[in-house]
Amino acid sequence: STRDTELAGHQKDAGCCDPTSTPHRFLALLFMCLLGFGSYFCYDNPGALQDVFQKELQLSSTEFTLIYSIYSWPNIVLCFVGGFLIDRVFGIRLGTIIYMLIVLVGQLIFATGGVLGHFWLMIVGRFVFGIGAESLAVAQNSYAVLWFKGKEINMVFGLQLSVARFGSTVNFWIMQPLYGYVSKSYSGYKGLGVALFLASSTCVMSLVCTLILGWMDKRAERILKRNNNPGGELAKLSDIVTFKLDFWMVSVVCVAYYVAIFPFVALGQAFFVSNFHMTPDEANTVNSIVYLISAIASPLFGFVIDKVGRNVTWVFCATISTLLAHFLLTFTHLDPYIGMSIMGLSYSMLAASLWPLVSLIVPEYQLGTAYGFCQSVQNLGLAVVTIAAGIIVDSSGGSHFWLQVFFMSFLLVSLLATCAIWAYNRKHQGNLNMSPAQRATYHTSIAMQCRHMNRRPLLGNYVQ
């Protein structure tokens, strides 16, 4: 438009309408964060209503964990492909809209299965929901790097996690009361289905935010004449084999750390009821502490990490403190709020420091593929571990002791992978554990070397 053309020529005076201005970028960030709210809210609907699911649908712990594991199974492959499709086929805007629509359809199928009392249909719905939700997370990460790389990237990842986990927290707060209200009019599994239908309204809100963000990004691309791939390289699925050891170790951390968080929260209600003799409502409250604290602490940790850098050190500290939290919950009788608060702070610290590492390792034109692979291997771990967790609880007569030991063993693997990242980065003089000032110097040096390499042949031809 004429207005956009004028902005392109007068960006310094355009104020909040200028895509490079801080107010405009943070308005885009608001929609980036909210586009994931609905999927995270609905993801943990079963966790908030675990007692209702098992009672009304007559499910064992193993069958209940299938609701979570079936979410992860398709994404072992499709999440990686979804990231590639963003890089090569759909583009970030269309890809995000498609994935958000799939999330909404999946949640509606899940709710329909609840109303009809058909567990198999609910599983189909979660399968479809999972196809969209994890690819949507890849798109969300790609948007963050596109708008904020080199500026407030750690804080942005923290804020995205904050809003997402706030969605999970709100779910744990309101789904039990919502079901209680709905069950006055609809008894049994029908009340469960109606409550799930009401929860799907959060996905509609996220879809609206996705459309608005797509419009803002298209406008910014036109005004700024943005070129995210000046070299003209095309992303290929085979690019994954060219990624270096530090990327693979980041992927290991993605699996080993998160399988000690998400399956624990999914089965957390039963854990706190049996180990600390709480009611389901009390168990949900303490179970939601991880997400509540991360909603507050993630952007704060991101802001601090933007200022001090040293991402690998932060990942190491987060893993150690999460191990401590699980130890306190398993081997002591301290108030569970203490262990869960430590876990929430640790989770926030890791998310704000780990995910930005990918953008420091992989070129921008491969980011969708890289983030998609990280999500894929994470979902492989979650799919297997969630089923294993249910089997461990059932075979232990409802005891969670060996399950906690199981989770802590994965945190030790995460710790070893973090040490490998640090050692590899130190050996190759990488920038993963540098301060921001050191990274700026590092990138300037790399850019000068590239210019020098490009000029040498031209100079030689001139002399000849």
What is the SS3 assignment for 418-446?
HHHHHHHHHHCCCCCCCCHHHHHHHHHHH
d(CA 229, CA 304): 30
State the Cα angle at 152 between 148 and 158, rounded to 5°.
Answer: 100
Collapsing DSSP states into helix, strand and coil, what is residue 186? coil
Mean of the per-residue pLDDT values for the chain?
Answer: 83
CB 136 within 8 A of CB 100: yes
Least confident range from 4-8, 400-404, 428-432: namely: 4-8
CATH for the 10-222+240-436 domain, from 3.20.20.210, 1.20.1250.20, 3.40.50.300, 2.60.40.10: 1.20.1250.20
State the Cα angle at 162 between 157 and 167, rounded to 5°.
Answer: 130
Residue 43, token pair as written in the block: 């993801």
Tokens 């909404």, located at residue: 104
Residue 225, token pair as written in the block: 């004449």
Residue 441, token pair as written in the block: 């110097």
pLDDT at 234 over 70: no
pLDDT at 20 over 60: yes
pLDDT value, residue 408: 96
pLDDT value, residue 422: 95
Average pLDDT (406-435) is 93
Dihedral pair phi/psi, residue 363, rounded to 5°: -60, 155
Which residue type sits at 26?
A: F
Dihedral pair phi/psi, residue 236, rounded to 5°: -130, 150
Q: How many helices (H) and strands (E) does the chain have?
A: 22, 0
454 pLDDT tier (thresholds 50, 70, 90): low
Taking alpha carbons only, the member of 43, 96, 359 closest to residue 211 is 96
236 pLDDT tier (thresholds 50, 70, 90): low
Average pLDDT (244-250) is 91
Taking alpha carbons only, the member of 28, 243, 36, 259 closest to residue 134 is 36
pLDDT at 327 over 50: yes
Alpha-carbon distances of 306 from 147, 154, 159, 175, 309, rounded to whole Å: 15, 6, 13, 36, 6
Which residue type sits at 31?
A: F
The share of the chain scoring above pLDDT 90, in percent, equals 26
Could you say which DSSP state residue 21 is in? S
> For residue 154, how many C-alpha atoms fall within 13 Å in the half-sphere facing its CB?
27
Residues composing the chain? 464
pLDDT value, residue 57: 83
d(CA 45, CA 109): 14
Burial of 13 (0-12, 13-18, 19+ CB in 10 A): exposed
Average pLDDT (440-457) is 66
pLDDT at 376 over 90: no
Average pLDDT (98-122) is 91
260 pLDDT tier (thresholds 50, 70, 90): very high
pLDDT at 185 over 80: yes
Burial of 2 (0-12, 13-18, 19+ CB in 10 A): exposed
Average pLDDT (332-357) is 91
Residue 53, token pair as written in the block: 């699911």
pLDDT value, residue 430: 84
Average pLDDT (174-203) is 87
pLDDT at 452 over 70: no
The domain locations on the chain are 10-222+240-436
pLDDT value, residue 344: 92
pLDDT value, residue 455: 55
3 pLDDT tier (thresholds 50, 70, 90): very low
Give pLDDT tens digits for 211-228.
Answer: 999 898 888 888 777 655
How many CB atoms neighbour CB 337 within 10 A? Answer: 11
Give pLDDT tens digits for 378-405.
Answer: 878 887 888 888 889 888 877 889 999 9
Residue 212, token pair as written in the block: 């608005």
d(CA 333, CA 107): 38
Dihedral pair phi/psi, residue 231, rounded to 5°: -80, -15
pLDDT value, residue 339: 94
Dihedral pair phi/psi, residue 105, rounded to 5°: -60, -45
d(CA 231, CA 228): 9
Q: With a threshold of 0.85, does the pTM exceed it?
A: no
DSSP codes of every residue in 16-30: GGSTTSHHHHHHHHH
Give pLDDT tens digits for 286-320.
Answer: 988 888 888 788 888 888 988 888 999 999 999 99
pLDDT value, residue 228: 55
